[in-house]
């Protein structure tokens, strides 16, 4: 598991207040982890702070799964 994955999962656990063992790559933020719309915005902000990046919020809010969030963030880290 990559450092990015570990950090994403930690941020998700803290922001959504869910057990870390529920946060798997194919877990969906809303359906599986219970994120509400305001929490989705909070997640974007938390990811930006954790990784010191500025993401396109509209594009970021289209990311639905944990693994997709890792890939999305890594694109910003690589650029």
For 1-60, how does the pLDDT look when each residue is reduced to its tens digit (9 = 90+)? 689 999 999 999 999 999 999 999 999 999 999 999 999 999 999 999 999 999 999 999
**Whole-structure pTM value:** 0.92
The mean pLDDT value for 59-68 works out to: 96
Whole-number pLDDT of residue 71: 96
Class of 3-78 in CATH: mainly alpha
Contacting residues for 21 by C-beta, under 8 A, at least 6 apart: none
Q: CA-CA distance, 31 to 53, in Å (whole number)?
A: 26
- How is residue 74 annotated by DSSP? H
Domain residue ranges in the chain:
3-78
């Amino acid at each position: 598991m990559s450092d990015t994955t570990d950090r994403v999962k930690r941020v998700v656990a803290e922001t959504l207040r869910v057990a870390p063992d529920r946060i798997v790559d194919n877990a969906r933020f809303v359906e599986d982890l219970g994120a509400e719309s305001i929490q989705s915005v909070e997640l974007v902000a938390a990811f930006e702070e954790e990784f010191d990046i500025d993401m396109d919020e509209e594009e970021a809010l289209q990311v639905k799964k944990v693994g997709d969030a890792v890939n999305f963030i890594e694109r910003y880290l690589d650029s």
